[in-house]
Amino acid sequence: MKNVVEISGVFKKYQMGATEVQALLGLNLEIKSGEFTALIGSSGSGKTTLLNLIGCLDDADRGKILIDGIDVSSLSEDEKSDLRNRKIGFIFQSFNLIPVLNVFENVEIPLTIRKDLTEEQRREKVMAALKDVELDTFADHRPDQLSGGQRQRVAIARALVTEPSLILADEPTANLDSKTANLIIDLMLELNSKKKMTFLFCTHDEKLMNRVQRVLRIKDGIIENYVHES
């Protein structure tokens, strides 16, 4: 099974006023195709920094990051943007839906910059993604007409629509009640099982630990230990 993510010896620091914050300290990580991995860690542990580096939203100070075998440090900004669009799907805790667009239009956004797709092909992909999250009958609804759980399912459909190699989910259940949060995890696990989609799921909620295949703990900028792997 190939590695979708390979990280070796990655360091990242930030300047906060007069203070230098070392967010990642020589971190190593491999994520194989089809895995569903939860990254557990307290606030300030380096979770979001790590996801930003994997998602090509930020650059490492040192070390190597490969996404689907591509060394991201060798890419231009345009090439990173193309890599994000084709190989990485993002799910955020705040949904990040555009209120004036309907469900269909929100999910279609990542496809609109693709020059290789016709309008009909885009429509087919959007409706297939909405069907995967059981919202195909809500395509004409606006976000303010949906529940929190439905909005997060729209965000999942938007992440799925490009058929990426990897989906990064940053605290996707943080704004949901516990019942809805478990339903969202159920959905992501189902998509992982049926479509063999690779998920890296970032959370501070350790109650969700036993719901996933593999759990890693990050502390002080390094992967501290393997908490659980089934």
Indicate whether 182 belongs to any domain: yes
pLDDT bin (cut points 50, 70, 90) of residue 173 is confident
Indicate whether 35 belongs to any domain: yes
Determine which of 41-45, 103-107, 168-172 has the lowest per-residue pLDDT on average.
41-45
Provide the domain count of the chain.
1
CA distance 69 to 95: 29
Q: Are 34 and 198 in contact (CB under 8 A)?
A: yes
Residue 57 is predicted with a pLDDT of 93
| C-alpha dist (Å) from residue 30 to 17, 33, 40, 65, 160 | 33, 10, 16, 10, 22
Indicate whether 142 belongs to any domain: yes
H/E stretch holding 114: none
The residue behind tokens 């976000």 is 143
Q: Are 67 and 56 in contact (CB under 8 A)?
A: yes
Indicate whether 12 belongs to any domain: yes
Residue 44 is predicted with a pLDDT of 81
pLDDT bin (cut points 50, 70, 90) of residue 229 is low
CA distance 132 to 143: 18
Question: Two tokens at 43?
Answer: 């606030």
CA distance 30 to 229: 14
pLDDT at 227 over 60: no
Indicate whether 175 belongs to any domain: yes
pLDDT bin (cut points 50, 70, 90) of residue 131 is very high
Indicate whether 126 belongs to any domain: yes
The vertex-216 CA angle with 96 and 74, nearest 5°, equals: 65
Residue-wise pLDDT for 8-47, tens only, equals 999 999 888 888 889 999 999 999 999 999 998 888 888 8
| C-alpha dist (Å) from residue 144 to 10, 97, 148, 173, 219 | 41, 10, 9, 18, 37
113-130 mean pLDDT: 95
pLDDT bin (cut points 50, 70, 90) of residue 198 is very high
pLDDT at 6 over 80: yes
Q: Which domain holds residue 89?
A: 3-65+75-229
DSSP H helices, the chain, are 47-54, 77-87, 103-108, 119-132, 148-160, 178-195
Residue 107 belongs to domain with CATH number: 3.40.50.300
Indicate whether 52 belongs to any domain: yes
Indicate whether 70 belongs to any domain: no
Please tell me the pTM assigned to this model.
0.90
The vertex-213 CA angle with 211 and 219, nearest 5°, equals: 90
